[in-house]
Amino acid sequence: MPHSISMGTWRLWRELLRPGDWVVVLAGLAACAAAGFWFWRGGAPDGVTVRASGKVFAKADLSRPRRIEVPGPLGMTVIEIEPGRARVASDPGSRQYCVRQGWLARAGAVAICAPNEVSLTLTGRGVDYDSLNY
Amino acid sequence: MTRSIIELTSTAEDDRVARYAAAAIALTVAEAAIPLPLPGVKPGLANIVILVVLARWGWREAAWVSLLRVFAASLLLGQFLAPGFFLSLAGALASLLALAGAACLPKKWFGPVSTSIFAAFAHIGAQLILARLWLVPHDGVFYLAPLFGAAAVLFGLVNGLVAAALLRDQSSQEAPRP
Say which of A18, A29, A35 has its CB closest to residue B109. A18
Return the residue of B nearest to A13 by Cα: B161
Residues of A in contact with B142 (CB under 8 A): 39
A35 with A54, same domain? Answer: no
Distance from CA of B111 to the nearest CA of A (A): 6
Summarize the confidence of residues B48-72 as an average pLDDT. 95
Tell me how far apart the alpha carbons of residues A120 and A109 are, in angstroms, rounded to a whole number.
8
CATH code, domain carrying A78: 2.60.320.10
Residue A39, H or E segment: helix A19-40
If asked whether residues A54 and A15 sit together in one domain, one would say: no
Q: Which pLDDT band, with edges at 50, 70 and 90, does A127 fall under? A: low
Residue-number span of the structural domain to which B34 is assigned: 12-174
Is residue A131 included in any domain, yes or no? no
Residues in chain A within 8 Å Cβ distance of B118: 24
Does residue A79 sit within a domain?
A: yes
> Is position B3 within any domain?
no
Classify residue B7: in a domain, yes or no.
no
> Is A34 in the same domain as A72?
no
Residues of A in contact with B114 (CB under 8 A): 18, 20-21, 24
**A60 contact partners, CB below 8 Å, separation of at least 6:** A47, A48, A50, A66, A68, A81
B173 close to A (CB below 8 A): no
Q: Which of A10, A102, A121 is nearest to A57 (CA)?
A: A121
Whichever domain contains B73, its CATH number is: 1.10.1760
Question: pTM above 0.80?
Answer: no
Number of domains in chain B: 1
> Who among A1, A18, A24 is closest to B117 (CB)?
A24
More confident call, B136 vs A22: A22
Residue B149 included in any domain: yes
Domain count, chain A: 2
- pLDDT higher than 50, residue B178: no
Q: Note whether residue A36 is domain-resident.
A: yes
**Closest chain A residue to B143, measured at CA:** A39
A116 lies in some domain = yes
User: Which strands form A85-90's sheet, in the order they lie side by side?
Assistant: A66-71, A76-82, A85-90
Partner residue facing A32 (CB), from B118, B153, B164: B153
- How many residue pairs bridge chain A and chain B with CB atoms within 8 Å of each other? 72
CA dist A93 and A100 (Å) reads 12
For residue A128, being part of any structural domain is answered with no
Q: Is residue B20 part of a domain?
A: yes
Residue A85 belongs to what domain range? Answer: 47-123
Return the top range by mean pLDDT from A42-51, A107-116, B90-99: B90-99
Considering CB atoms only, which of B110, B145, B165 is closest to A35? B145
Nearest residue, CB atoms, B153 vs list A28, A36, A44: A28
Model confidence at B177, pLDDT cuts 50, 70, 90, reads very low
The arithmetic mean of pLDDT across residues A106-133, rounded, is 78
Contact B114 A32 (CB under 8 A): no
B1 located within any domain: no
Residue A132 maps to a domain: no
For residue A134, being part of any structural domain is answered with no
- Write out chain B in H/E/C secondary structure: CCCCCCCCCCCHHHHHHHHHHHHHHHHHHHHHCCCCCCCCCCCCCHHHHHHHHHHHHCHHHHHHHHHHHHHHHHHHCCCCCCHHHHHHHHHHHHHHHHHHHHCCCCCCCCCHHHHHHHHHHHHHHHHHHHHHHHHCCCHHHHHHHHHHHHHHHHHHHHHHHHHHHHHHHHHHHHCCCC
**Residue A14: closest CA among chain B residues belongs to which residue?**
B161
Name the residue facing B153 among A2, A16, A25 (closest C-beta): A25
- Residue A128 above 80 pLDDT? no
Residue A20 lies in a domain: yes
Interchain CB distance below 8 Å, A2 and B108: no
> What is the ipTM, given to two decimal places?
0.82
Does position A60 have pLDDT exceeding 80, yes or no?
Answer: yes
**Are residues A68 and A115 both part of a single domain?**
yes
**Is residue B145 situated within a structural domain?**
yes
**Residue B98 near chain A (CB below 8 Å):** no
CB contact under 8 A, B113 and A17: yes
DSSP A42: S
Q: Please judge whether A20 and B168 are an interchain contact, meaning their C-beta atoms are less than 8 angstroms apart.
A: no
B3 touches chain A (CB under 8 A): no
